[in-house]
Amino acid sequence: MRTIRFTAVVLLSCASLAGAQQPDSAARSRQRADSIAKAVRDSIALMKELGAGLAAPSGAAAPGSGNVGPQSGPANPRLLPDISAVGDLVGDLSPRGSTQADRSRFGVREVELAVQSVVDPYFRGDVFLGISDVEKISIEQAFLTTTSLPNELELRIGRFLMPFGKQNLTHRHDLHTIEYPYVIQRLLSDDGLKGTGLWGSRVFAPFGFYQEVQVTAIDRLSRPVDSLHTAEDVNRSLGGLGFSARLRNYVDLSESQNVELSFSALTGKRERALGQSYLVSVEQPTGQFVPTDVNAIVARQTTYGADLTYRWRPLQQGLYQSFILQSEVMRQVNERVDDLVAPCANCATVSIAERARDYTGAYVFARYQTTQRTFLGARYDWLQNPENDGRTLNAGSVYLEWYPSEFSKLMAGYEGLSNSGDRLVNRLLVQAVFSLGPHKPHPF
């Protein structure tokens, strides 16, 4: 009897425990199901928010974000870079034929693609690709910029427009003229001098106005010339690299006027053509000697420059009136290598086809705003032209510039060009520029 009672008690206890556990298991199952459902709902809500942020216009708040104002929406929820394109279209209506390098009357001078974004908390990346019929696809600029160095230092690594003078830092399509001044075209490059290497800069204010020091070290001064071959590479030694320095001074004269005065220097080695070519054995980095047709030497080239910019924009009428006066002067000094030891034992003294001499050039440019979107400009160029045996080049030009909006520009220009001893060349040029995407402005 006792055994039966004990067994009954045990069975009743087990039944009670089983009955108590069943509600707990059901509760956990319901909690798990609710948690999964909540995760699904949260994922769907997040996807909708991201989609609304991508579809919302730039500067508008995303629907459902709870924020109001132009800066309240998600700026870039998927961390996509800013991508833009700029078209630069040029027409040449000169009466005696086109003066363009490819002799075209109308052409797409360049399409520039820009990809720009913050890389991480330490760097920002900028890539500019140039697309043209002449160069096809080329890397115009591609550099990293530091964002968190101490003491307000800034460092760039990659390819960039050289900080020499004022206008060389501006892309050609953003100029207030259709082409660079002739002193830049002839002494630097017709599409702006670029360098690949390191750039360092820092802003100071020791005298109550802003000063900026910009220094660079680049691979070489200019692009290699396929037709010129030297006995050794231009940058074989560190002394053959290109170096530049610029001191920029900025002063506010009043609330509506300011002035900028800068001094620049640029030095490095480059090829210079010989009077004739010689077959010599050139030592390679591997230690081997390879026969090479040498027709150029390596010579140093140094350029000095100064630029002055005056700006006036009244506070009350700044949208409708403004004035800029700008001037640059440059002097290029070439190493004197008139007589050389021949590159081979049985050769006569080498003669230099490109005679070593110095060149000086300058320009003055003025631009006045007549209406909210219309500007009148004029420029005078003077240069000892290295492409014409140093003979003097004089050019005067006038421009009418109109901005239908901040994303487009139309310009017409006339230029009278005279090389010493040559007839006057009349040039009529037109330009149309349009921008797609968030193309950022160039440095002030």
Tell me the torsion sign for CA atoms 170, 175, 177, 178.
positive
pLDDT score of 66 more than 60: no
Predicted confidence band of residue 11 (pLDDT cuts 50, 70, 90): very low
Dist. CA 360–CA 187, nearest whole Å: 9
Helix (H) or strand (E) holding 434: strand 425-436
Dist. CA 185–CA 91, nearest whole Å: 19
Looking at residue 288, its pLDDT comes to 53
Looking at residue 229, its pLDDT comes to 76
Q: What is the mean pLDDT of the chain?
A: 81
Q: Are 270 and 290 in contact (CB under 8 A)?
A: no
Q: Residue 419 carries which DSSP code?
A: E
Q: Who has greater pLDDT, 382 or 280?
A: 382
Segment 132-158 shows an average pLDDT of 92
Looking at residue 221, its pLDDT comes to 86
Segment 226-237 shows an average pLDDT of 79
What pairs with residue 154 in β-bridges?
201
pLDDT score of 64 more than 50: no
Q: Which tokens belong to 138?
A: 């080329």
pLDDT score of 50 more than 90: no
Residue 314: which residues within 8 A CB-CB, separation 6 or more? 256, 321, 322
CA angle (312, 317, 320) in 5-degree steps: 85
Q: Are 128 and 110 in contact (CB under 8 A)?
A: no
Segment 54-66 shows an average pLDDT of 46
Predicted confidence band of residue 14 (pLDDT cuts 50, 70, 90): very low
Q: Are 253 and 261 in contact (CB under 8 A)?
A: no
Predicted confidence band of residue 232 (pLDDT cuts 50, 70, 90): confident
Q: Who has greater pLDDT, 47 or 199?
A: 199
Predicted confidence band of residue 20 (pLDDT cuts 50, 70, 90): very low
pLDDT score of 39 more than 70: no
Percent of the chain residues past pLDDT 90, beyond the cut: 53
Note the pLDDT tens digit of each residue in 340-375.
545 454 444 455 555 578 999 999 999 999 999 999
Going through 93-230 in order, the beta strands assigned E by DSSP cover 106-120, 123-132, 136-146, 153-161, 194-204, 210-218
Dist. CA 203–CA 443, nearest whole Å: 14
Name the pTM for this structure.
Answer: 0.76
Dist. CA 34–CA 32, nearest whole Å: 5
Predicted confidence band of residue 264 (pLDDT cuts 50, 70, 90): very high
Q: Which of 203, 201, 239, 202 is nearest to 220 (CA)?
A: 239
Note the pLDDT tens digit of each residue in 92-119.
999 999 988 888 999 999 999 999 999 9
Task: Give residue limits of the domains in the chain.
Answer: 90-374
pLDDT score of 198 more than 50: yes
Looking at residue 298, its pLDDT comes to 84
pLDDT score of 281 more than 60: no
**Long-range pairs for 43-48 at CB < 8 Å and ≥24 separation?**
none
Least confident of 237-241, 270-274, 307-311, 398-402: 270-274
Least confident of 17-26, 192-201, 426-435: 17-26
Note the pLDDT tens digit of each residue in 304-345.
999 999 999 998 877 889 999 999 999 999 988 755 545 454
Looking at residue 356, its pLDDT comes to 73
Tell me the torsion sign for CA atoms 400, 418, 333, 238.
positive
Residue 147: which residues within 8 A CB-CB, separation 6 or more? 118, 121, 122, 123, 124
Segment 121-125 shows an average pLDDT of 93
Q: Are 315 and 254 in contact (CB under 8 A)?
A: no
Predicted confidence band of residue 206 (pLDDT cuts 50, 70, 90): confident
Looking at residue 387, its pLDDT comes to 87
Looking at residue 225, its pLDDT comes to 76
